[in-house]
Amino acid sequence: MAISKIQMTKERITADNKRILNNGRMVDCNQLVPIKYQWAWNYYLDGCANHWMPTEVPMQRDIEQWKNPDAFTVDERHLIKRVLGFFATAESLVGNNLVLAVYRCIDNPECRQYLLRQSFEEAIHIHAFQYIVQSLSLDEGEMFNMYREVEAIYNKDEYAMSCTNSVLDPSLDTNTKEGLQTLLKNMVGLYVITEGIFFYGGFVTMLSFGRQNRLPGTCEQIQYILRDESIHMNFGIELINAIRDENPGAWDKDFEQEIIKFIINAVELECAYCKECLPQGVLGLNTNLLREYVQYLADRRFERLRLPKQYGSNNPFPWMSEVIDLKKEKNFFETRVTEYQTGGALEW
């Protein structure tokens, strides 16, 4: 397999020579320009325009609220800890998959430019949860071990990672149909399932606190993460579809069925996780509404993957689309200006 080696040739490379997976043809993973995949470069620019750092977000009000025994019910505290506990390690799983498995296989320079940007964003997200856990003085051992100790979290992580090992295998050959399917399935596990479904139970429940001005610093960070993640997922789906278009044999009917099942099972795991986080309803949320939302999201993902919708559910939380879609001058919860269009916006 050629993807682990950089082959130098003396022939000139043009944009037309470029492929998403060069697959040992005329391998060049260093020439960003001339650009063939403008969309990948645009995602990179979008990611840079959204730059933020966790430690810029004040946590004082969160600390005061969290210390106040009357500010949260027992169920609310359970929910918040389960959500933070899931994210605390999930961001690391994503980062590792990205750097060790996906980056190795995707050797087009425009796509790699975005993958490098995304990798740094995952580092920022990991940092964010470390910063939140530390600010609120949560038990670090408890939070960072939840993916081992809480079954519903373990099941999600285990599921998303189940197809990563075969991509890490040095004998993986993306010149074969089987090898390509292995890579594509892992990419669906990362971009569609983890970032596009498994993160959303946590997003919608935490942002429900933010809408009531509770844990405003935590929720502001989660809002930035959500904004980043929606770009990650959109890039990932575009990348999956581009690989598919360049390798028409790989995505056959059997594989399509396998991917549909893969996503349907993920929806069930996310619903089980929501049930574990939220055994009783809080904040107008309950497991039925969350199921409807997760199914609604899955249908959107199916459409983007050019697959038939499976559920026909409606969006019970239309306000979430506003949080995701709007390039607001202020953040959704009106705490501070949040657009980082230039590095000059930072104060030193």
The residues assigned a catalytic role are 131
> What does 156 bind: Fe ion, Mn ion, none (CB cut-off 5 to 8 Å by kind)?
none
CB of 54 to Fe ion, least distance (A): 12
And the tokens for 186? Answer: 């892992």
Q: Tell me how long the chain is.
A: 348
Return the amino acid letter for 235.
F
Q: Look at residue 282 and give its three-state secondary structure.
A: strand
* Residue number with CB closer to Fe ion (3 or 193): 193
Buried b (16+ CB within 10 A) or exposed e, 62-80: beebbeeeeebeeebebbb
Choose between 72 and 199: whose C-beta lies nearer to Fe ion: 199
Q: Looking only at residues 237 through 256 of this chain, which bind Fe ion when binding is defined by CB under 5 A?
A: none
Residues 212-271 that bind Mn ion (CB under 5 A): 229, 232
Task: Say which entry of Mn ion, Fe ion, none residue 157 contacts (CB below 5 to 8 A, set by partner kind).
Answer: none
> What span, in angstroms and rounded, lies between the C-alpha atoms of 116 and 120?
6
Asked if 42 and 23 count as a contact pair (C-beta separation under 8 A), the reply is: no
Residue 51 makes contact with Fe ion by CB under 5 A: no
Least separation in angstroms between CB 37 and Mn ion: 19
- Helices assigned H by DSSP within 278-347: 287-304, 318-325
- Binding status of residue 117 toward Mn ion by CB under 5 A: no
301 binds Fe ion (CB under 5 A): no
123 vs 260, beta carbon nearer Mn ion: 123
Does residue number 156 form part of the binding site for Mn ion (CB under 5 A)? no
Piece in contact with Fe ion (CB under 5 A), picked from 58-66, 116-124, 137-145, 206-214? 116-124
Q: Are 247 and 274 in contact (CB under 8 A)?
A: no
Q: Which of 125, 214, 227, 301 lies at the binding interface for Fe ion (CB under 5 A)?
A: 125
Q: Do residues 207 and 223 lie in contact, with contact meaning Cβ atoms separated by under 8 Å?
A: yes
Contact between residue 219 and residue 54 where contact means Cβ atoms under 8 Å apart = no
CB of 229 vs Mn ion, minimal distance in Å? 5
Asked if 232 and 192 count as a contact pair (C-beta separation under 8 A), the reply is no
CB of 129 or CB of 273, closer to Fe ion: 129
Chain contacts with Fe ion (rule: CB under 5 A):
91, 122, 125
Chain contacts with Mn ion (rule: CB under 5 A):
195, 229, 232
